[in-house]
Each structure stands twice: as structure tokens, then as C-alpha cells.
Copies of this chain bind each other. A is one copy, B any other.
Amino acid sequence: MENMKKAVVEKLIERDVGIDDIAVLVYDLQKKYIPDVTMKECTETVQDVLEKREVQTALLTGISLDILAEKDLIEEPLLSIIKRDESLYGIDEILALSITNIYGSIGLTNFGYLDKIKPGILGKLNEDKHIKCNTFLDDLVAGVAAAACAKLAHSRI
């Protein structure tokens, strides 16, 4: 279990996503509802979310598909669908939802909002799409942030 978490955090960093980048998304969404929330608390909550087995396997599976698509190791027609992040391809959202669901349905709204507005690291991942395949990663990161918001709400509201 310990090694799984380590593997996930390393993979995120390898793909240019720091824990802090995700914690900022959580902080910006929650400070309106929890005025005394701190970045430290948001960072710890993201770390807690990454302890969950389902979150780890969803992240590893999605990031693997991004990397395999970059290396052209996936067969057609799926390869082009993933590389273009086709709007009718929804498996990325499905994996993200499996992360958010761990803390119940209250994370759904924040996930959708983040995925539409693409603030901070999400915007950066989206911009990098012409040089990298981040089809899964941007949704997964939004899913982790939304899950952390839900976990914070459960403990603080």
C-alpha cells in the first residue's frame, strides 16, 4: 500500500503535477465555505485522498493510457480518439468520477466546475496538450481535488 502511494505521487510529478498544485484548487474552492481553511490543511487532505486504493488505481490506469498514447502503443481507432481527447470519449470522466465517488456524491459539482473552468494546474495541463497527451490526467486531477473538497466538507462543515 505504502509503495502504491509513492508510485502514484512520483508518477504525478513526472507528469508535472505537484501535490501543492492540487491543494491550491481545493483551497480556492473551499475558502468561501470554510473561511479559516489553510493550505496546510488542503495539502494534508489531498495526501489523505491519495492513500485510497481506488484513487491510486484510477490514477495509475489513466496516466498509463496517456503515456501509452504518447508512445503510439495503443491500437487504432482508440489511439486517435485518446490523442485528440475527442469530446465523445468519456472514459476519462468515468475514471475521475470513480475517485470523486469515494467521498459520496457531494464532490460531483466541484468536479464538473473544475473540469469546465480549468483553473491553475488544470489550465496548464490543457495547454500542454499539443506536446503531451493529458487526456486522462486533467480529469483525474480535477477528480482528486473534488474528492479532497468533499472530504474537507465532511470533516469541517
Contact = CB atoms under 8 A, between A and B. Distances in A.
A58 to B, nearest CB: 6
Interface in A95-130: 95, 97-98, 101-102, 104-106, 108-117
A116 B110 contact: yes
A90 B102 CA distance: 12
Given A74-B68, A101-B101, A112-B112, A106 B88 contact: yes
Contacts of A87: 33, 106, 153, 157
Contacts of A81: 57, 60
B108 A108 contact: yes
A116 to B, nearest CB: 4
Interface of A is mostly: helix
Interface in A58-114: 58, 60-61, 64-65, 67-68, 73-78, 81, 87-91, 93-95, 97-98, 101-102, 104-106, 108-114
A54 B89 CA distance: 7
11 contacts: A61-B65, A64-B75, A88-B154, A90-B98, A94-B94, A94-B105, A102-B102, A109-B115, A110-B112, A112-B112, A112-B113
Interface of A: 3-4, 7, 33, 53-54, 57-58, 60-61, 64-65, 67-68, 73-78, 81, 87-91, 93-95, 97-98, 101-102, 104-106, 108-117, 153-154, 157
